[in-house]
Each structure stands twice: as structure tokens, then as C-alpha cells.
Amino acid sequence: MRACLRQARCGAKFTRMSWVRQRPFAGVLVGALVGPLVGAVLGACSASEGPSGEQVAETTSSGGSAQVTNSSTSAGSSTGGTGSAATVATNTSDGSDAGGASAATGTTSDSSVSTTNADTSTSADTSTGASFGGAPTTSTEDSTTSGTGGSPSGTPVQEERAPVPIARSEHGVTALNGEVYVLGGFTPTVTSSVQVYSPEQDSWRDAADFPVVFHHPNVAAVGGVLYVLGFHAGSGQRMADGSAYAYDPETDSWSERASLPIGTERGASCVTTFEDKIYVFGGTNDIALPDASVYDPAEDSWEALPFMPMARHHCIAAVVNDRIYIVSGRDVVIEEVQTESFVFDPVTLDYEEVAPILTPRGGAAGGELHGRIYVFGGEGNVDDENGIFHEAEEYDPISDSWASLPDMVVPRHGLGAAVIGDRIYLPGGSTRQGIQSQTTHTVFFFETP
């Protein structure tokens, strides 16, 4: 019965509404009103299956407490051993899509890649990481600060970097101590491998394997330690594992931490950090979930947050001006991409709807740079023969508007993003909806005169 009620609660999109914090009297009143409907809810547990075989339930409200208000919604190839740098540059100051890059679909090659494009201007100690198109996250090593808004200067550029040694997708990605970590994913078989990229050396090295083979992990870094907080283990893509682990780069070793509370296990969430805590929004555990939680590494403890206004997974979270923005993502099946974007206030615990993303997609990667949020790629594109979104887009929290950027040089989904200094690194991913893992690794930045 518990599982059945959870399915009915979370299996469909949530309607926009204001959530009122629970009070004892309100609980009694709601119970009296809802009691006669329990039989109907239980009957809904045999709901028909969606296009992907996922169970879909009727829209319903939940006991989560949050407040949602409407805001202005103005929308403003695998490297495969080539060793060449692909660059796209265009002026997008007017917010229009310059169409600078043609779509490219690549295939994986076993040949090694050597490039000389080492990044030597990224030694700043402000690193953020976004985990995969499976579970895009944004974590901040120096998480007492966040983006403050502003206008990026220069021309947007995309270049290829040393390819990921093992082709992978639906993996975790984060930045730690000025380096990019990739974890698990499909290679195409599921792996426990962890590899580390040095921007200064433009080279990769191996780190200690994760304790199990896994994919779609929720990954973040705080205080010089990397955390994995829930994931999908083995080759299954439906049921989540709520186990949590911490990686210490000093000892190159993993240790167990407090698991996600029972009933909140999930992978493919959108994750970010704020004030040395890790925020986990949405995710999947057989169905799309609206759950939100915050993990305190210092106390090794979890706290439940108000449910998101809509259940979603394969989304992106990023912090700007001390507020957490949640963009992109999808509901149950791949094509059920979600337009709505939200901002969460960690102090008041309220959600507010903001301008919708220009190109709704799930499985994208993204992060904060210069006080703006950048989103790359994704899957669920019914107009593309490979099901991939080529678009890169920029969100400005100050004007609450989106703008188009040049398309990705190698469009893909199931990748991740790590922000180090003034650059966003995008390692791995798939060039076809589903699993077609690549070694492609690109970097996005603004080139100044």
C-alpha cells in the first residue's frame, strides 16, 4: 500500500499551486476530507503504462510543504583521436541564436588523442561540477559563495580537449581541487571506474574505483571531498540505491556516509551546493520524484525539504545570488521534457517559477559561470534523427530571460559539466538517445580580446 500511494503521489506532473506548511489541525482536516478518497487512490495504482513502460498515475497533490508563485516569464563526434581543436565563436549580445556551429555526430575511436590546448588560466579556487545528463548537478567547492549575476564579456568559444580515456555516458561529473572527476556510467557496460582530468596538463589519470558499478549518480564536492549521494547500481535503470560515499583525494579512498533516508532513495537528481551543504532535487526510483533533500557533510546528516512543484529528473541545479535555480529535466519518459524553471530559496524554503527554458530537454549538462546559468545538449528531441538536442542556452537571473548560444560542436546527452575558474568542461556523453557512449571532451568559455 505504501508503494502504491507513493506511486500515485509522484507518478505524474504536479500542478502549480501554493503549498501550505502542515499544522496539526490542518492534518486532521485534510485526513477527514481525503479519507473517503483513499479507495479511489488505491484503485489508481493499476494505472496504464506510459510509452516507455513506466507507470503513470493521475495528477495529485502531496503532503509536501512549499510555496510556489508565478514570476515574470519573459523568454528572451567524438574526438576519436583527431587531436584537433574545434572552435565556434559568435557574438550573441542580442540574445539571438547565431547558428555558429553545424551539428556533428561522432563515433568512438580506440586511438589516443594528444592535444596541446592545456588550460593554464583556471587555477582559481572556485570550482563547480555538474553531474551527467543522467543526473545533472552543480557543486561548489568553495560553497560559501555563489554567482552574483552580471554580464559575461567576450566571445563564446567551444574547443575540444583530451578525450575521456574510457567512452562513457550517464556518468557523474564534478570539479574537485581544480580538476575534473568522472565517475561510473555506461562504457557501454556499467563501470565503477573513476578518472581525473587536469586542465593544466590536458591529461587524464585513474583514481580509486567506486565501491560498486553504478550510473546516474548524484555527485558534488564540498570542503575538498567528493560525495556520491544515491545512484543506480548495476545495469538496471529503474530502481535506485540510496547509499552514500565520500572520496578523499589525499588518501585516494572511499568511505561510507549516511544513506539517503528510507523512502527517498533516488538517482538522476539535480544537485548543487550552498554554504557547505549539498542540495538534491528530484530524481528517479522507478518513477519521477518531487523529493528534495539537503545533506550536511559536517554532521553526516540529512534534512527533508519541501517537495518540488513538479516531479522531475535528469535536470540541472545551480546557485546564483544565494538562490538555487532548477532548470531542464523531464517527467517519466524521455520525450516528456519540462519547460518550467524554478528558483528555490534555501532560507524561506519556497519555490518560485521563473522564465521557462527556450529548449526543454532532459539529460543535459550545465552550470553557473559569470552569474549566469548555461545548459548544453540533452535528449528527447523528436525532431532529430538521433533524438539529441544540439542547443546551448544561457539564463540571466537578473533579467529572468534566456538567450541562445552557438550549438554544441558535438551534440550529446548523458554528459556532465564541471566549472573550474572561467571554463565549463563537458566530458563524455552519448551522441544518440539512449546509450552510445563517447570519449568526446569539450570546454566552453568566453574569449576576450
3 state DSSP class of 239: coil
If asked whether residues 226 and 148 sit together in one domain, one would say yes
Query: Which residue would you say has higher pLDDT here, 38 or 221?
Result: 221
Tell which of 65, 88, 119 closes a domain: 65
Identify the band that residue 332 occupies on the pLDDT scale cut at 50, 70 and 90. Answer: confident
What pTM value is reported for the model? 0.74
What's the rounded Cα separation, in Å, for the pair 23 and 39? Answer: 25
The closest of 219, 232, 253 to 417, measured between CA atoms, is: 219
Q: What mean pLDDT do residues 276-299 have?
A: 97
Which strands sit side by side in the sheet containing 392-396, from one edge to the other? Answer: 365-369, 372-376, 392-396, 401-405
Q: What angle do CA 198, 244, 147 make, to 5 degrees?
A: 50
Which residue spans within 96-152 are E strands per DSSP? 127-130, 137-140
Note whether residue 109 is domain-resident: no
279-291 as b/e: b if 16+ CB within 10 A = bbbbbbbbbbbbb
Do 294 and 201 share a structural domain? yes
Residues 162 and 292 placed together within one structural domain of the fold: yes
**Is 105 contained in some domain?**
no
C-alpha cell at 102: 553545424
Q: Is residue 53 part of a domain?
A: yes
Q: Which residue has the higher pLDDT, 188 or 202?
A: 202
Identify whether 417 is part of a domain: yes
In the three-class reduction of DSSP (H, G, I as helix; E, B as strand; rest coil), residue 221 is classed as: strand
**161 and 280 assigned to the same domain:** yes
13 and 148 co-located in one domain: no
Count of alpha carbons within 13 angstroms of residue 363, beta-carbon side? 30
Confidence of residue 315 (pLDDT cuts 50, 70, 90): very high
Q: Is residue 95 part of a domain?
A: no
Task: Tell whether 294 and 435 lie within a shared domain.
Answer: yes
User: Does residue 99 fall inside a structural domain?
Assistant: no
| Biggest CA-to-CA distance, the chain | 69
Of 88-97, 141-150, 258-267, 360-369, minimum mean pLDDT range: 88-97
Domain count, the chain: 2
Residue 199 within any structural domain of the chain = yes
> First-to-last CA distance in the chain?
63
- List pLDDT tens digits, range 149-179: 557 789 999 999 999 999 999 999 999 999 9
* pLDDT over 80 (residue 12): no
Number of Cβ within a 10 Å radius of residue 338: 25
52 falls within a domain: yes
What's the confidence (pLDDT) of residue 152? 79
Last residue of a domain, one of 65, 100, 117: 65
Q: Say if residue 303 is in the same domain as residue 182.
A: yes
Quick one: pLDDT at residue 53? 31
Q: What pLDDT, in 10s, does the model give residues 46-75?
A: 333 332 333 222 222 333 334 444 443 333
- Domain containing 45 equals 2-65
Q: Which pLDDT belongs to residue 157?
A: 96
- Over its C-alpha atoms, the chain yields an Rg (Å, rounded) of 21
With 60 as the cut, is the pLDDT of residue 432 above it?
Answer: yes
- Least confident span in 88-97, 150-159, 255-264, 408-417: 88-97
Phi, psi of 85 (to 5 degrees): -105, 125
At 216, which CATH number?
Answer: 2.120.10.80
Contact assessment for residue 140 and residue 273, using Cβ atoms and an 8 Å cutoff = yes
pLDDT at 399 over 60: yes
Do 23 and 166 lie in one domain? The reply is no
Q: Is the peptide bond before 165 cis (omega within 30 degrees of 0)?
A: no
Amino acid type, 252: D
Nearest to 382 by CA among 312, 347, 335, 425: 335
The predicted pLDDT at position 435 comes to 87
CB contact at 8 A, 187 and 437: yes
b/e 199-228 (16+ beta carbons within 10 angstroms → b)? beebebeebeebeebbbbbbbbbbeebbbb
Query: Are both 143 and 236 inside the same structural domain?
Result: yes
C-beta of residue 205 within 8 angstroms of C-beta of residue 185: no
Beta strands in 331-397 (DSSP E): 341-344, 351-354, 365-369, 372-376, 392-396
- What pLDDT is recorded for position 197? 98
Give the C-alpha separation, 349 to 275, whole Å. Answer: 15
Report the DSSP beta bridge partners of residue 232. 215
Domain termination residue (choose one: 41, 65, 89) = 65
Beta strand segments in 59-118, E: 68-70
Is residue 239 domain-shared with residue 343, that is, in the same domain?
yes
**296 and 158 within one domain:** yes
Check residues 78 and 233 and name the one with the higher pLDDT.
233
Average model confidence (pLDDT) for the chain? 77
Judge whether 189 and 435 are in contact, CB under 8 Å.
no
As given in the structure block, the three cell numbers for residue 80 are 576519436
Domain match, 168 and 245 both:
yes
Q: What is the mean pLDDT of residues 9-33?
A: 35
What is the helix (H) or strand (E) element at residue 402, kind and residue range? strand 401-405
